[in-house]
Structures are given as structure tokens and as C-alpha cells.
């Protein structure tokens, strides 16, 4: 995919500063500016977003950066960000959901907070609607699709610098839920893992096969729907044993994980939410000596 670039003028206008300020920041090494073959300055999209997020500058014209142009503060400042998201999802307003999530991200909010405190509660609320009326089903399906699109968009905008090694994962066999495992992979990417999401309903043997090939630091499994718990428990035990031999940690979570009743195993770590996933991943990396191989950048 072609990289998206902004001119210094576009970025300057978007954040309400002059081109000379941008140039000064670039000279100080705060903003990484590239040059085209013709010698023109350009700022890559990821770099622009990183700079906005880390420097705390305010985006005054988000539309120039393709982020939607709504002034959210003025419109609904009494609502929590989770409520705003809920209403935007309920009305099927994809542009607004996208802009809400990306603005939270640019404001420096950790991804795990956006996921656990906004998207998860908003979807849980949406999930209650189908009990009352048939349109609730439509709203739920539409909201789910919007979340997936926005998550993909967000993931695309994360810095592609993977210094922590690889991670792969999926939802367990029989589990059709796509959002939780997509969230895990996005969060791990945000943490600097080259994370590959293998999607819903993955046979355990397929995860093991891939893990043997790429020897990830982390293999994750999400459990939102449980079928044949006794068979799955045996398969996961065997998976954990094989992963342990190659020093891959199995990290598990999901709304139905407690029903699996897994045995205690130091190589199987269970997280309640994305915040715990992130804490687990940070703990693992801190305890693993980084070889030059696993430190490399992946794309
Ligand atoms: C979207 C959705 C669907 C979609 C799924 C589309 C898809 N392809 O994914 C569709 C429409 C297909 C669907 C179908 C059904 N659904 Co549904 N669905 C939902 C809904 C609204 C959102 C699920 C979601 O994606 N949430 C967002 C994720 C990110 O949140 P989460 O799963 O809680 O994950 C968090 C943690 O668990 C954790 N986590 C998750 N994975 C991992 C992994 C790791 C490693 C770690 C550390 C942490 C972690 O972090 C996440 C963020 O905080 C929920 C409502 C709800 N309360 O969740 C109902 C819900 C789960 N569905 C429900 C039901 C009843 C059904 C159906 C039976 C409805 C029907 N009559 O047909 C079917 C059954 C499908 C099946 N075979 O299982 C019920 C389940 C009740 C129960 N537990 O028994 C719920 C709770 C709705 C409700 N309140 O009634 N559903």
C-alpha cells in the first residue's frame, strides 16, 4: 500500500501552526520530515499522527488529515466518550465513530482504555437491544461492522515499528466473534509487536502449526463463545505444552474464558481485558532477554 504523506503546509494548517514552526521542530529532531526526489519536504501520515499524539498539539482542522471535521467538544461535552460512541454506533454513523475513536487516540489516550472503557461497554449496551425489538439486531450487526472498520483504520495508522517480536492469535474453534481478537492484535501492535490476527473460529492445530513456523513471543486465544469445552480444554493443554517448548507464551482472555476452567500453568496467562493483556505483554518482554533477531523491525 502506498504511504500517505502530508506537505508541511497541510500539517501546519491542520494543527494551526506556521510552516516555520514545523521546520524548527524538524530541525530539533521532534518531527521526522522526509524529502521527495525533487527536494520537497513531506511528512508521513504515521509520523504526523505520532507527533500530534506525543506533542499534545491540538488538531484544529482534522479534515485536512482525513480525520473528519466534527468539533466534538462543543457538541456534546456532557456525555462520556463511551456514551458518545454508543449513540454514534446506535445511529450507524461510521464517520462519527471513526472520528471519535481517532480523536481519543490522538489525544493520547491509551488504546487499551479506548477499547475497554469505550468500545467494549458501547457494544455491550448495543447487545441488549435485540431483546426488545427486531431493529436491535440490525443495529447490532451494523455497529459491529463499523467497529471492525474503525479498528482496521486505527491499526493502519499505528507506527509500524515492531521491536518486541511477533505475536499471533485468534478466537478459538467454534467462536465466531471477530472484534475481540482484532482488538488484541491492534493493542499488541500498539505495544510494538508484529501482531498477526488469524481471526475467528481457528482450529487449535492451525495456530500451533503457524506458531511452530514463526516462533512468536506471544500466541493469544480469545474465547467469547464456548463449544465443546472439554475437547477444547484438552487441545489447549497440549497447545500450551508445545508452545512452552519453544518459549512462546499463551495469553488467553475473552468473556467466556472462565468457563474453560484451565489448570494453572506459568506459560498460560489469562487477562480480563485489553489493559491486562498490555500489562502481561509488557511483563513478558521485560523478562525476556531480547536477541538481535527478535529486536528487528518487521513490516
Ligand atoms: C456483536 C455481537 C454478535 C455478532 C458477532 C459478529 C462477529 N462476527 O463477531 C452476532 C450478531 C453474529 C452475534 C450473534 C449471537 N450473539 Co452476540 N453479541 C454481540 C455483542 C453485541 C458484541 C460482542 C463484541 O464483539 N464485543 C466487543 C468485545 C471486544 O468485547 P468482549 O468480547 O467483552 O471482550 C473484552 C474482554 O472479554 C477481553 N478480551 C476478549 N478477548 C480477549 C483475548 C485476550 C487474550 C485477552 C487478554 C482479553 C480478551 O477484552 C475485551 C475488551 O475489553 C455482544 C454484547 C456483549 N456484551 O459483548 C453480544 C452477545 C455476546 N451475544 C449474545 C447472544 C445471545 C448471541 C446469539 C445467541 C444471538 C442469537 N439469538 O442468535 C448469537 C450466537 C452466536 C454464536 N454462535 O455464538 C449474548 C451472549 C449472552 C451469553 N453470554 O449467553 C450477548 C452478551 C448479547 C446479550 N446481552 O444478549 N453476536
> Which of residues 52 and 92 earns the better pLDDT score?
92
Q: What is the pLDDT of residues 281-292, one digit of tens each?
A: 999 887 765 544
Is the pLDDT score of 71 beyond 60?
A: no
For ligand 1, whether the C-beta of 271 sits within 6 Å is yes
Residue with cell 485536512: 64
Whether pLDDT at 200 is above 90:
yes
Residue 50's pLDDT band (boundaries 50, 70, 90)?
Answer: confident
Distance CA 224, CA 256 (A): 5
Distances (CA, A) of 257 to 120, 122, 238, 262, 269: 16, 21, 17, 9, 12
The CB of 190 under 6 Å from ligand 1? The reply is no
pLDDT exceeds cutoff 70 at 167: yes
Average pLDDT over every residue of 18-30: 81
| Topology given in CATH for the domain delimited by 72-157 | 1.10.1240
Report d(CA 96, CA 85) in Å as an integer: 8
62-66, 188-192, 237-241, range with the lowest pLDDT: 62-66
Average pLDDT estimate for 253-273: 91
Mean pLDDT of 162-174: 96
Question: Would you list the domain boundaries of the chain?
Answer: 5-62, 72-157, 166-295
pLDDT number for residue 24: 80
Please work out whether the CB of residue 144 comes within 6 Å of at least one atom of ligand 1: yes
* C-alpha span between 181 and 186 (Å, rounded): 9
Quickly name the fold that domain 5-62 has. Multidrug-efflux Transporter Regulator; Chain: A; Domain 2 (1.10.1660)
Stretch 162-190: mean pLDDT, rounded?
97
Do strands 268-271 and 41-44 pair parallel, antiparallel, or not at all (unpaired)? unpaired
d(CA 132, CA 121): 18
Cβ neighbours of residue 247 under 8 Å, at least 6 residues apart? 215, 288
Q: Cα(181)–Cα(166) distance, rounded to whole angstroms?
A: 15
pLDDT score of 58 more than 90: no
Categorize the per-residue pLDDT at 298 as very low, low, confident or very high, splitting at 50, 70 and 90: very low
* 114 backbone dihedrals φ, ψ, rounded to 5°: -60, -40
Ligand 1: centre distance to CA 178 (Å): 9
Residue 69: predicted pLDDT = 54
166-295 adopts what CATH topology? Rossmann fold (3.40.50)
Amino acid at each position: 500500500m502506498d504511504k500517505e504523506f502530508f506537505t508541511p503546509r497541510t500539517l501546519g494548517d491542520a494543527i494551526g501552526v506556521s510552516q516555520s514552526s514545523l521546520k524548527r521542530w524538524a530541525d530539533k529532531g521532534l518531527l521526522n520530515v522526509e524529502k521527495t526526489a525533487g527536494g520537497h519536504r513531506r511528512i508521513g501520515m504515521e509520523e504526523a499522527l505520532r507527533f500530534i499524539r506525543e506533542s499534545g498539539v491540538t488538531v484544529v482542522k482534522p479534515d485536512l488529515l482525513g480525520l473528519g471535521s466534527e468539533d466534538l467538544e462543543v457538541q456534546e461535552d456532557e456525555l462520556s466518550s463511551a456514551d458518545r460512541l454508543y449513540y454514534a454506533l446506535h445511529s450507524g454513523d461510521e464517520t462519527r465513530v471513526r472520528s471519535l475513536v481517532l480523536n481519543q487516540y490522538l489525544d493520547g489516550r491509551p488504546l487499551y482504555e479506548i477499547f475497554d472503557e469505550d468500545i467494549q461497554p458501547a457494544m455491550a449496551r448495543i447487545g441488549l437491544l435485540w431483546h426488545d425489538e427486531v431493529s436491535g439486531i440490525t443495529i447490532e450487526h451494523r455497529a459491529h461492522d463499523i467497529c471492525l472498520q474503525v479498528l482496521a483504520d486505527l491499526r493502519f495508522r499505528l507506527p509500524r515499528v515492531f521491536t518486541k517480536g511477533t505475536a499471533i492469535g485468534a478466537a478459538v474453534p467454534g467462536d465466531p466473534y471477530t472484534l475481540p481478537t482484532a482488538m488484541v492484535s491492534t493493542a499488541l501492535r500498539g505495544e510494538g509487536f508484529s501482531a498477526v490476527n488469524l481471526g475467528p473460529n481457528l482450529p487449535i492445530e492451525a495456530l500451533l502449526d503457524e506458531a511452530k513456523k514463526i516462533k512468536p513471543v506471544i500466541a493469544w486465544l480469545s474465547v467469547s463463545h464456548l463449544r465443546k469445552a472439554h475437547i477444547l480444554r484438552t487441545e489447549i493443554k497440549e497447545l500450551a505444552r508445545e508452545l512452552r517448548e519453544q518459549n512462546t507464551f499463551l495469553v488467553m482472555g475473552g468473556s467466556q474464558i472462565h468457563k474453560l476452567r484451565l489448570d494453572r500453568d506459568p506459560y498460560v496467562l489469562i487477562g480480563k481485558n485489553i489493559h491486562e493483556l498490555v500489562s502481561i505483554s509488557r511483563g513478558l518482554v521485560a523478562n525476556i532477554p531480547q536477541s538481535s533477531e527478535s529486536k528487528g523491525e518487521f513490516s
